Amino acid sequence: MNITNLKDNRFAVIAVAISVFALLLSVAIYFGAQNFSKQGSYVDVKGLSERIVKADTAIWSMSFEIKSNNIDGLYADIEKNIGTIKTFLKEKGFEDTEINVAPVNIYQDTYKDAAFRYNATNQVSVYTNKVDLVKASSNDTLLLVKKGVVLSQNSISFEISDLNSIKPEMLSEAIENAQTTAQGFADAANASVGSVTRGNQGVFDITEKDPGSPEFKKIRLVSTLRFLMK
C-alpha cells in the first residue's frame, strides 16, 4: 500500500467517525427535546409555615468579678459570692442538680502600678426546664446586690429541646401552602398543577416572638418547590 492510499484510508475513517458522532448527537438532542416538551411549563413557588412555640429549657448564667491583693481574701470572697448566689437560687425553688459552678479564672497582674494583684472571674449557671421560674426569678437579682454580689453578666437563653417533633408538621404545611400558590398560577393560566420536580426544604429560622417574651419563639420555614404546569 502506497502513502497516498494510506492517507485516503485515514481520512475515510475520520469522516466516518465524524458522521457517527453527528448522528448520535442529533439523536440525543432529539430525545432531549422530546423529553423537555413532555415536561412542559413549570412554576417555582414558596410555601410558608410559622409557629409560636414556648421554650421548654432555660439556661441562666450569672458571672461576677473579684479583685484583691490578698490570695486568701480573694478565695474567701469567691466562696462567699458562690454561696450567696446558690442560696438565692435555692430559695427561689431551684434544685442543686440544676445549679452549676464553672471553674474559677484568676489573672495575676504584675504591673507595678496595678490597683489589684489578683483578678478573678467566675460563673454560676442554672440549666432547667422551669422556664417560668427562671423568668420570674431573674427580675429579683437586685437582691444579690443587697447581699454584696455585683453581677458583671446576667443572661438567659431560652431554648426548644425537641424541635424535631414539629418539623414534619411544619414542612407538610409549607408544601401544602406552596401547592395552593401553584394552583393559583394554574387557574390564572387555564392549566393544571402536575407533580413536584424540584424542592428545597428551606431552613428553620427561630427568633424571639418579642423582646418582652423571650421564652416564646417564632419558628419560620419557607420551602421552595417547582411544580409542572399541564
Cell numbers at residue 90, please?
Answer: 435555692
- Model pTM above 0.75: no
**Cβ atoms < 10 Å from Cβ of 186:** 19
pLDDT in tens, 77-90: 999 999 999 999 99
With 70 as the cut, is the pLDDT of residue 26 above it? no
Q: What's the Cα-to-Cα distance from 5 to each of 1, 73, 112, rounded to whole Å?
A: 6, 106, 99
pLDDT in tens, 152-166: 999 999 999 999 999
- Is 212 buried (19+), middle (13-18) or exposed (0-12) by CB count in 10 A? exposed
pLDDT in tens, 161-218: 999 999 999 999 999 999 999 999 888 888 888 888 898 999 999 999 998 999 999 9
Concatenating the DSSP letter of every residue in 79-97 gives HHHHHHHHHHHHHHT--GG
Give residue 4's pLDDT band: very low, low, confident or very high (50, 70, 90).
Answer: very low
